[in-house]
Each structure stands twice: as structure tokens, then as C-alpha cells.
Amino acid sequence: MNNILFGPFIGEFGWELCYWQGWVRKYSKTFSNSKVFIASFEKSYPLYHDFAYKFIPISKKFLDKKYSFNGYFPNFKNLTGKEKKTFKNLYDLEIIRLKEIIRNDNKNDIIHLPFYPQRDRSKLSHLIFLIKKIIKFNNEELIHKENPYKGILIKKYLDFLIYNYEKAWDVQAPPKNFQTINFLKPTTKVNDLYLKVRQRVNTKHFVTLFPRKRNVFRPERNYSENKWEIFIKKLVDDLNLGVFICGTPEGAGLSDFKYNNVYNTVFEKEELLLDLHISLLCNSKYSIHSQSGSAYLSMYTGNFTFFFGLENYRKRFDNDNVLNSKYKFLTKYGTDPDPIYLFEEFKKIYLKDKV
């Protein structure tokens, strides 16, 4: 028996949701009679509770640094040479810490799979992989025949990425058939918190709303907080809907917004936050977003996802909606629609479903 360590995952949550947890779930099945350990951000445990032997939260030292993430990794483009060195030292120490935790559980060998394999683009093996991907020849058997951890992974890829970031912009993600993605469900750990939070909104029906606010990575996708407030007030006053504001303290806006039957969940227990959001999504029908990776979270719970953004991203959302959840993606006014227009479009869907 071996111990299989996946991670630590240190990237964007949208990537963890769409291009990591599904691959880990499927690829871990190739290691029969092994214990699967998964390391990621503390709040991410609901993504793995159905199959992991043990989930290990990554060190808070990563969180303390407040790295901006891009794909599977921090956005090294925005880091100084000293910050890059600090990150690499933290990462190496984290691997030592994780392996020590596993050894305290048992003394079996450890197979470490740090992230989805990133192939060397200058090698023929990568070209062959891309051709097979395009003609959809990369089936389940090829996971075994072309185990990416047997020679075609760049040696010390993280070192390569840190110091050659501009050459590695096209991060490689697993194709759909290399993943097993299931509908997300809350764990029993969050039951009490959900019941407490639900009492803060005194309406029969409610929606979740994720007001993206990023100051470093693509801030142009943020939607005006003033416009969000106008939109939310219409939901409450005209449709008698409760609204739960969701997201993370570092990635969501409207932190100071107060209104009747509106409750901000962002500052609830951090370690339970994702579990709470999944629980709210599973107990409501609609979720509202700007153009953000948070839209995938509601899709992965089967929630009707209402969001807006740029038309050239529609194909990506179609491709990544692997569970075929219902959604409405408004693109007429891009990332900055008028809030009244936004409300009227949502109202059409809501009232149609009520008939």
C-alpha cells in the first residue's frame, strides 16, 4: 500500500473546482489499495470528502502572504525576485510538513503528485499529446499508457514557472474525460451554521449573490458596488426575495452593505465558508454573479446560474458546464450592464418559473 499526496493546491478556486478536484478524483482511482491525502486551502474540504482518506489544510503562511492567484499557481508576474524566493522556500517547507503528517499516520511510501502535469512545450511528446487531445483520442486507457509523471513532466516545473513566467502563460488543464466531476453537496459539519445563517433572512425564498471584487487580477471585471446595491434592493422589494451575499473576505465586495432581508455570509467562519455556500446553493434555486469563476460553483450544485459578462467567454462557460446546469449569461452590455436592465432580465426568468 502506498500513500498518494495530491497538492498542495495553491491556485485559483475556479481552477481547483474545474480543473483539479475532478482530475484528482479520477486519477486517484488508478492507485488501487492506496490512501489518498489531499492538501489545499482549509475551506476546500467539501470538494474531496467523498473520496479522500484525509484532507490536510495548507499552512496559513501561504494565506498570510495574500498572493494573487492565476490558474494552478500564484501570479509570479506580480512578485519581486525576493518574493519569489520567499514563496519557493515556503513551498519547500510545506512539502516537508505534509509528508511528515503522512508519516505520522503510517510508514508506507509516499507518491507525491503536486499539480496537474505541465508538459514541456518544446518536446515532441507534448505535440503528440495535443494532437490526441484535438482528435479526442486521449481516452481512459491512455491515462495508464501515458502516465504524465513518467518523464514528460518538466523537472522542477515550479522553478521553471517562477523564473520563466512569460513562457508559461498557457497553463495546461486536463480534458473532460480525464476528470470525474459530481454535483457538490454540503457536509454535516456545516448543518448548525446553515440553520443559524438561514434565520437571518425572513423570506420563504432566497438567492445567493457573489459580488466579485478583485484589486489585482482583472479588476475591470468587477461590477460597481452601487449598481449591485440597486439590483439587490429590487430583488428584495419587488420580488420579496432574501439575498445572501457570498464570496471570500479578500474577493467579494459589498462588505458594508446593509438592507432588510440581506445577509452577508462572507465573514462567517472561514474554514466553513465554502461548505456554507454549497449548503445555501443547494437550498435555493438561483445564484447571481458577474463574470467570475464563482459561477461554476453554482453550476456544480445544479443551481440556476444568472450572470453577465463578455460574449467571447460564452464558449468557455459552455465547455466547463460539465453537469449541464441551467444558466443565463447576459452579454449585451458586457461586464457593466445597467442594474435595472439586469433586474428586469432576472425577473423574467423568476416569474416564468413561478407559473
Structural contact between residues 2 and 37, judged by C-beta atoms closer than 8 angstroms: no
Q: Is 302 part of a structural domain of the chain?
A: yes
Last residue of a domain, one of 178, 209, 234: 178
Q: Is the pLDDT of residue 82 over 60?
A: yes
Q: Is 93 part of a structural domain of the chain?
A: yes
The 10 Å CB-count burial string (b at 16+, else e) for 290-310 is bbbbbbbbbbbbbbbbbbbbe
Say which residue, 203 or 164, is predicted with more confidence: 203
* Three-state SS sequence of the chain: CCEEEECCCCCCHHHHHHHCHHHHHHHHHHCCCCEEEEEECHHHHHHCCCCCCEEEECCHHHHHCCCCEECCEECHHHCCHHHHHHHHHHHHHHHHHHHHHHHHHCCCCEEEECCCCCECCCCHHHHHHHHHHHCCCCCHHHHHHCCCCCCCECCCHHHHHHHCHHHHCCCCCCCHHHCCCCCCCCCHHHHHHHHHHHCCCCCCCEEEEECECCCCCCHHHCCCHHHHHHHHHHHHHHHCCEEEECCCCCCECCCCCCCCCEEECCCCCHHHHHHHHHHHHHCCCEEEECCCCHHHHHHCCCCEEEEECCHHHHHHHHHHCCCCCCEEEECCCCCCCCHHHHHHHHHHHHHHHHC
Does this model's pTM top 0.85? My answer is yes
Predicted local confidence at residue 70, as pLDDT? 75
For residue 241, the domain's CATH number is 3.40.50.2000
Minimal CA–CA distance to 184: which of 258, 287, 103, 260? 287
Instruction: Based on the fold, state whether residues 232 and 161 are members of the same structural domain.
Output: no
Predicted local confidence at residue 352, as pLDDT? 87
Q: Is 265 part of a structural domain of the chain?
A: yes
Instruction: Based on the fold, state whether residues 218 and 145 are members of the same structural domain.
Output: no
Band of the pLDDT at 148, cuts 50, 70, 90? Answer: very low
CA gap 342, 7 in Å, rounded: 40
Q: Name the residue range of residue 302's domain.
A: 188-354
Instruction: Based on the fold, state whether residues 298 and 167 are members of the same structural domain.
Output: no
Say how many domains are in the chain: 2
Instruction: Based on the fold, state whether residues 211 and 167 are members of the same structural domain.
Output: no
- pLDDT above 90 covers a percentage of the chain that reads 59
Segment 36-73, tens digit of pLDDT: 999 999 999 999 999 999 999 999 877 766 677 777 88
Q: How many CA atoms lie within 13 A of 39 on its CB side?
A: 26
Instruction: Based on the fold, state whether residues 171 and 199 are members of the same structural domain.
Output: no
Instruction: Based on the fold, state whether residues 113 and 235 are members of the same structural domain.
Output: no
Dihedral over Cα of 295, 296, 300, 305: its sign: positive
Instruction: Based on the fold, state whether residues 168 and 258 are members of the same structural domain.
Output: no
CA gap 165, 163 in Å, rounded: 6
Q: Is the pLDDT of residue 147 over 70?
A: no
Predicted local confidence at residue 39, as pLDDT? 97
Band of the pLDDT at 100, cuts 50, 70, 90? Answer: very high
Band of the pLDDT at 161, cuts 50, 70, 90? Answer: confident
Structural contact between residues 118 and 98, judged by C-beta atoms closer than 8 angstroms: no
Q: Is 183 part of a structural domain of the chain?
A: no
Q: Is the pLDDT of residue 141 over 80?
A: no
Q: Is 334 part of a structural domain of the chain?
A: yes
Instruction: Based on the fold, state whether residues 106 and 134 are members of the same structural domain.
Output: yes
Segment 178-206, tens digit of pLDDT: 899 999 999 999 999 999 999 999 999 99
Return the minimum-mean-pLDDT range out of 3-12, 170-179, 282-291, 342-351: 170-179
CA gap 9, 21 in Å, rounded: 10
What are residue 207's DSSP bridge partners?
A: 243
Instruction: Based on the fold, state whether residues 52 and 16 are members of the same structural domain.
Output: yes
Q: Is 287 part of a structural domain of the chain?
A: yes
Return the minimum-mean-pLDDT range out of 168-172, 234-238, 259-263, 330-334: 168-172
Predicted local confidence at residue 99, as pLDDT? 96
Predicted local confidence at residue 143, as pLDDT? 39
Instruction: Based on the fold, state whether residues 256 and 117 are members of the same structural domain.
Output: no
* Average pLDDT taken over every residue of the chain: 86
Quote the Cα angle for 35-40-45, to 5°. 75
- And the C-alpha cell for 80? 519581486
Segment 207-254, tens digit of pLDDT: 999 999 877 667 778 899 999 999 999 999 999 999 999 998 888 889
Q: How many CA atoms lie within 13 A of 354 on its CB side?
A: 10
Last residue of a domain, one of 178, 209, 242: 178
Instruction: Based on the fold, state whether residues 19 and 101 are members of the same structural domain.
Output: yes
Predicted local confidence at residue 25, as pLDDT? 95
CA gap 38, 25 in Å, rounded: 10
What are residue 5's DSSP bridge partners?
A: 37, 112
Measure CA 92 to chain center. Answer: 24
Minimal CA–CA distance to 109: which of 44, 175, 35, 7? 35
Q: Is the pLDDT of residue 101 over 60?
A: yes
Band of the pLDDT at 151, cuts 50, 70, 90? Answer: very low
Segment 87-98, tens digit of pLDDT: 889 999 999 999
Last residue of a domain, one of 130, 157, 178: 178
Instruction: Based on the fold, state whether residues 110 and 212 are members of the same structural domain.
Output: no
* Three-state SS sequence of 81-110: HHHHHHHHHHHHHHHHHHHHHHHHHCCCCE
Q: What average pLDDT does the segment 301-327 reach?
A: 94
